[in-house]
Structure 1
Amino acid sequence: MRGSAGPGGGAGADGPAAGGRGDELVALLYREFRAPLLRNVRLLTGGDEQWAEDVFQEAALRAWRRADGLSRERGELWAWMMTVSRRIVIDDRRQRGTRPVEVEAGRGEDPAVPDASEPTLSALVLAQVLPGLADHHREALVLVYLRDRSVGEAAEELGVPPGTVKSRLHYGLRALRDALRR
């Protein structure tokens, strides 16, 4: 796991006060969200499998620390995990940008160039598919997943109840998945 497990991260370094509640949450996260979240985070990390796994573990640790305050409702928990994961990747990128890694290239070898084609291709495909979705589905997806709004913030911005936003996200993701399969 990454080295950010320290004081001030929720209920303390020893986890949530409700003991087993945090463990139950982490088990739920691994069972329900690990595979789809890793798929999404891999896109954010440029296909870096290890980095994506580190991000998931850090997000699960943060959820464990906040187990007493997190909703167990699937849509809210998914949105929370995606938001936290995205923010972890952003923080990691910022940190890497402040202290570049020094690597000495061997003689006669070309330094490896990272392949950024997958995120670029994904962005292009998404840009082609999003306009084909219903307006209300597209608005909800863009606000929550691309602009990092919570369900509550998106509901306020759209002028609809949070349950409506959750429903639009559910059906919007389904429509997006179907469109991507085609």
Structure 2
Amino acid sequence: MSRTSSPPATDAAIGLDWANDEDGALDHAYQRWGPLVHGLARKAVGPVEAEDVTQQVFLSAWRARETYSPDHGPLGAWLVGITRRVVADTLRVRRRSAQVPVADDQDVPEGRWEDVDRDDLLSVYEELERIGDPPRQILLLAYVHDKTQKEIAELLDLPLGTVKTHTTRTLARLRTRLGGAP
């Protein structure tokens, strides 16, 4: 991987580079979606195993890169699907072996990822991409990085009321998009 190349300008460009097996595609994809994958993994399996899951996701994705097609959806959504499978496998192994106990502070409910519909994950991801920033940043900081609304306001240098409004409106939009109650 080339560390000197600049990343493509858009998510679509990164996806095309990935599909065409361009130099630096893995690096660009990791820079763009690594935090999202790691955050999802951290929520599901806890901080101890999140780094391993993240590495497994990108390794699996790279090995299966010829199966990715930009026509079927964005690269980020494809990576979220791989994350879901790797997390499910990790949780299955954890339950079977019982050698890796879940710490009290992790509080990971069983079946959390196995029961999530892949289409719902893709819909959430695609809608977040459409929403843009700062609402997208706010939701990712809140639900992937476990930041409070006050912390988010400080990080993004926004008024707390603005963060709360963006959160409420964006969650309502996602609920509507997924067909839930308004």
| TM-score under structure 1 length normalisation | 0.48
Q: Give the number of the structure whose alpha-carbon radius of gyration is greater.
A: 1
Higher relative contact order (CA 8 A, sep 6+): 1
